[in-house]
Amino acid sequence: MSKVITPREKDYSKWYNDLVVEADLADHSAVRGCMVIKPHGYGIWEKMQQALDKMFKDTGHVNAYFPLFIPKSLFEAEEKNAEGFAKECAVVTHYRLKADPNNKGKLIVDPEAKLEEELIVRPTSEAIIWNTYKGWIESYRDLPLLINQWANVVRWEMRTRLFLRTAEFLWQEGHTAHATKQEAIEETEKMLNVYADFVENFMAVPVVKGIKTANERFAGADETYCIEALMQDGKALQCGTSHFLGQNFAKAFDVKFTNKEGKLDHVWATSWGVSTRLMGALIMSHSDNQGLVIPPKLAPTQVVIIPIYKGEEGLKQITEVVNSIKVKLQQRNVSVKYDDRDSQRPGWKFAEYELKGIPLRIAIGERDLASGTVELARRDTLTKEVVKIEGLELHIETLLQQIQSDLYKKALERTVGSTHHVSTYEEFKKVLDEKSGFVYAHWDGTPETEEKIKEETKATIRCIPLNNKQENGVCIYSGKPSTQKVLFARAY
């Protein structure tokens, strides 16, 4: 049974869904809006986690774990945050089921097991964490607290898409507490840079770093920093956010500390997160009609070896050579899989690993043994070459680095090619409709104009880029004066 993916040109959205399911990345589940992350998809997510976790620890953070549930009264404490998430909360109201007296074998919610106070399944953990920090922080000696959590969160989204927007998703959320405003802002910016570093250097996806407008800010934050990337269809995807929370949560939960001068002050806070949404960014940045393309640094398997043989004796000879290639690759920390299953033909296997995005494929037949060569195929370019077995491991090591940087270069060229500057609203709409992509345009700085443009064009301000060029101009919508262009796009 061959797996069919709708071509990108025909229906990009369907291409994406087909690819996610057929490449065994994720699947829909029996629970509305929740996905199953399949082993191949989860394997990539694990690689992402490992790399990020190391970066968090290298910048002084430690991991911890806070409860899944937030009592409603705590959830309400930071009003803006509560308001922002209230409309999409899963709410636990009971703690027991009982046999349905009218329907044998069926269960009903036990009305006698109603919770005194409803519990919210965390959509984000600021409330429960800051309520906890209250007990941990007394003096400046307890600061900074630099804590991260890997967890599942739930936001009851109405329209969901695998990885991009699901009711439950996996993420990490950093929550830090600081003695000064300046230190908290530095932390916010540091973690934005960690995210940008990860997305560019591991995912091979170029990003624009910037600050969100008030409209797009995280509910409860004073400032939201973000990284934005451009997908192949010219739509933007927010890849990560880092929030400067000011003293909002410290005030809501009354978290004060004694500073070095002996005075009481509220603590300063940040929070920052990336999620399984990054899987969507990865897929939509590099993949093609043959399936997934995984950057080598995040590939759970970097090289697959497929034997082409007749009979057991032939396989045995090939396997002997393959085993020595495998050992040499593993010594260089190249992850390698040998697929010698006899239940599938080589052609089927070629297609399967192309679909799954394994960066390099080695095919080795009986004739290759005589010539001391193998056929090496690159997933990203779909090119093949015949390579000597001697020194193969060195060649592959270099090639994997090459693929990693080629993928980034290709994505960067695409992004640059899809980045436009416009001066008028007509031009703005024309570019969005005909070319899509990132569009830089002057904006008068008001939420009203931003809202109008969104209504009329579906484009939003992705961010005000960091170190943005200051230049006088007029807002494309209102004609009012503006000091800088901001980054617009239609977005996921």
Site for its own copies, rule CB under 8 A? 27, 29-31, 34-39, 42-43, 45-46, 62-72, 74-76, 79, 82, 86-99, 105-107, 109, 118-121, 128, 131-132, 135, 141, 147, 151-152, 154, 156, 168, 170, 343
Whichever of 91 and 386 has its CB closer to its own copies, that residue is 91
- Which distant-in-sequence residues (6+ apart) come within 8 Å of 382 by Cβ? 290, 354
Contact in structure between 475 and 251 (CB atoms under 8 Å): no
Whichever of 90 and 464 has its CB closer to its own copies, that residue is 90
Strands (DSSP E) found in 155-267: 168-178, 208-211, 223-230, 236-246, 256-258, 264-266
Whichever of 29 and 468 has its CB closer to its own copies, that residue is 29
CB of 76 to its own copies, least distance (A): 5
Q: Output the CA–CA distances (angstroms, integers) from residue 366 to 228, 313, 329, 340, 350, in the order listed.
A: 49, 10, 21, 14, 18
Whichever of 40 and 212 has its CB closer to its own copies, that residue is 40
Could you give the CA distance from residue 106 to residue 126 in angstroms, rounded to a whole number? 38
Report the alpha-carbon angle 437-441-445, nearest 5: 125
Q: Report helix, strand or coil for 482.
A: strand
Closest CA to 230 of 429, 14, 412, 441: 412
Contact in structure between 326 and 374 (CB atoms under 8 Å): no
What is the three-state SS of 15-26?
A: HHHHHHHHCCCE
Whichever of 89 and 239 has its CB closer to its own copies, that residue is 89
Q: Backbone phi, then psi, for 137, in 5-degree steps?
A: -110, 120
CB of 219 to its own copies, least distance (A): 13
CB of 277 to its own copies, least distance (A): 14
Q: Backbone phi, then psi, for 464, in 5-degree steps?
A: -100, 105
Contact in structure between 406 and 380 (CB atoms under 8 Å): yes
Could you give the CA distance from residue 281 to residue 96 in angstroms, rounded to a whole number? 40
Strands (DSSP E) found in 366-448: 373-378, 384-388, 419-421, 438-442
Contact in structure between 441 and 428 (CB atoms under 8 Å): yes
CB of 128 to its own copies, least distance (A): 7
Whichever of 154 and 207 has its CB closer to its own copies, that residue is 154
Whichever of 27 and 390 has its CB closer to its own copies, that residue is 27
CB of 65 to its own copies, least distance (A): 4
CB of 172 to its own copies, least distance (A): 13
CB of 307 to its own copies, least distance (A): 18
Whichever of 94 and 384 has its CB closer to its own copies, that residue is 94
CB of 102 to its own copies, least distance (A): 14
Whichever of 107 and 416 has its CB closer to its own copies, that residue is 107
CB of 388 to its own copies, least distance (A): 32
CB of 87 to its own copies, least distance (A): 6
Whichever of 142 and 265 has its CB closer to its own copies, that residue is 142
Q: Report helix, strand or coil for 267.
A: coil
DSSP 8-state class, residue 141: G
Axis-axis angle for helices 425-434, 447-457 (nearest 10): 40
